[in-house]
Amino acid sequence: MAHDLFRLFLLLALATPSQNNRLGPTSRLRYSRFLDPSNVIFLRWDFDLEAEIISFELQVRTAGWVGLGVTNRYTNVGSDLVVGGVLPNGNVYFSDQHLVNGDTLKEDGSQDAELLGLTEDAVYTTMRFSRPFRSCDPHDLDITSDTVRVLAAYGLDDTPKLDRERTFVKSIFLLQVIHPDDLDVPEDTIIHDLEITDFLIPEDDTTYACTFLPLPIVSEKHHIYKFEPKLVYHSETMVHHILVYACGNASVLPTGISDCYGADPAFSLCSQVIVGWAVGGTSYQFPDDVGVSIGTPLDPQWIRLEIHYSNFNNLPGVYDSSGIRVYYTSQLRKHDMGVLQLGFFTFPIHFIPPGAESFLSYGLCRTEKFEEMNGAPVPDIQVYGYLLHTHLAGRALQAVQYRNGTQLRTICKDDSYDFNLQETRDLPSRVEIKPGDELLVECHYQTLDRDFMTFGGPSTINEMCLIFLFYYPRNNISSCMGYPDIIYVANKLGEEASDSMEGIMAMNNVEWTPESIKKAEKACKEAQQTVIIKTIDEVVENTTGWIPDIIPTPRGRCLESLGGKVEAQDKTPAGFRHLPLAAVLLVQRTLSWLLAMLQTGV
């Protein structure tokens, strides 16, 4: 009897609620996107962060096989692909596979995808399945909080084989923790456009156009709660980014439209970012408890609108009226938000050698001067979102927080950064930054396709290393960025330099080899950093510091499929699905109860 009861209790313990109770065969999947230009492939998905399970529904206009998986930046070989379809006799097939070459698939030894539904009608084949974020199968690529390159493919019959014309890769941020439908939309919403008007885009590769515009005039406090790009169809491919900077109310501002960083320095006034958009981004709505305050004496009345155009084809006669559309309301939120710009100060001391497989750059921020520069006590900063920005050589970014010399956490990162998908993202939980903390931005570049030096600068072929943190409550600090002692770096590379300009020029004299590239990277990290802190009123102060080491964040446990097997080369004991804590406690209580029963002779 005791043996039978033990088996019953053990089965109950193991039968813990599945993620598919929340993401089952018929549950609504909140996120969706077309994956191809012709809108043949439609993807829906949703996820359970606690269970670390993601569910997909792929709908394709075909009567043949369909496939969905994950790939990397450089090649589809090695990509994982879940394949399924419906045979003419009505039987279904479904398999977790991977690409062994450009078009040939092979079934994984471990089947880590769970089929939730597979149907075919006169128009569509629809496949729904779930998989863990990280399985123990080395052929499965992880689903992470980075940009994920989603691979979708299909065929016209039931023989799975990749065809370039029916294979598509799209970069998606899959683990978006807040869905716009979950946010409140105030009934009294007012729309206001901040836009450039009939601007003739120059025939130059790079143009930064700036103009100054008033924010909405309101008689009492309101909050901006959402923004989105306002792009003109015929010129949208030329618009690289749009930034809105708040101006201090003491600023004397110019009129008209001019080069942001040209002959007239007045057009570069105002440096506190309010909102920003870049290539690949869409609209963004702030969480329900934060907004951009307007309408009080402490709020900015004017902004600088900056639009970066990339006219690489030197097209003539293109006029543009792009900008940012903001949504605001009198229904006030709890917190006034701000944006803090971090990273490597953008000017030519920032360099990346040619032919680099990997090159790391660093920008340090030290916050101990924030209170003095703010003019008032600075409350702890609560960070809820972020925007990452590099140009074409960028491969990864991260912001790391330190307190009292000890690494505290990685605030945000993307190890699979895609220049064509730059969007404001929400953090899964809010991060607190205290006065005195240090913030380090690390940017990872690759320049294998370049035989020339890449320097920091405004052009798309120059580079940047920036992270914008969205936070509350707002203060007057607009940016905090660092750069290394370039004279020290030049000397370490065997070049003579007595000032910063000579140090920059010396980089062109270095014979760049894998060894000298690593030597330069090491010297940049060892060099003392100058930290530049700027306020909304253009007050600037400098301090210095040193780059701390970054301790990598360990990956979590992998999950073995139920009923599948781990590949032979994956022998780690962490590969087994671990019981939830509640189940472990239930088993322990069951064993204690069973022991007591045996001792009493039951």
Q: Which two tokens stand for residue 158?
A: 């039931």
85 and 168 Cβ atoms separated by less than 8 Å: no
CA 495 from chain centre, in angstroms, equals 38
2-14 vs 581-599: helix crossing angle, rounded to 10: 170
DSSP 456: B
Pairing state between β 80-86 and 92-99: antiparallel
Cis-peptide, bond into residue 202, ω within 30° of zero:
no
Query: In the annotation, is 208 catalytic?
Result: yes
Q: Measure the CA–CA gap between 261 and 13, rounded to whole angstroms.
A: 65
Q: Could you identify the residue written with the tokens 């309301």?
A: 329
The identity of residue 327, as a single letter, is Y
Q: Which of 208, 245, 384, 471 is catalytic?
A: 208
Q: Could you identify the residue written with the tokens 């921020």?
A: 365
Q: Could you identify the residue written with the tokens 């990864």?
A: 396
Pairing state between β 148-154 and 167-172: antiparallel
Q: Measure the CA–CA gap between 452 and 43, rounded to whole angstroms.
A: 41
Query: In the annotation, is 389 catalytic?
Result: yes
149 and 75 Cβ atoms separated by less than 8 Å: no
540 and 533 Cβ atoms separated by less than 8 Å: yes
Q: Which of 389, 402, 417, 472 is catalytic?
A: 389
Q: Measure the CA–CA gap between 464 and 154, rounded to whole angstroms.
A: 38
Residues 59, 61, 67, 70, CA torsion sign? negative
DSSP letters for 281-314: ---EE--TTEEEEESSTTS-SEEEEEEEEE-TT-
Residue 399: strand pairing partners: 412, 441
* CA-wise closest residue to 47 among 497, 567, 428: 428
Distances (CA, A) of 518 to 67, 280, 395: 41, 32, 17
Q: Measure the CA–CA gap between 385 and 340, rounded to whole angstroms.
A: 11
**Residue burial 248-259, b: 16+ Cβ < 10 Å; e: rest:** beebeeeeebbe
Q: Measure the CA–CA gap between 200 and 317, rounded to whole angstroms.
A: 7
**Number of C-beta neighbours around residue 468 at 10 A:** 23
The identity of residue 42, as a single letter, is F
Strand arrangement of the beta sheet that strand 425-433 belongs to: 425-433, 381-389, 465-472, 338-344, 477-484, 529-535, 540-545
Helix (H, G, I), strand (E, B) or coil at 275: strand
The alpha-carbon radius of gyration of the chain (Å, integer) is: 27
Pairing state between β 105-107 and 529-535: unpaired
Residues catalogued as catalytic: 208, 389
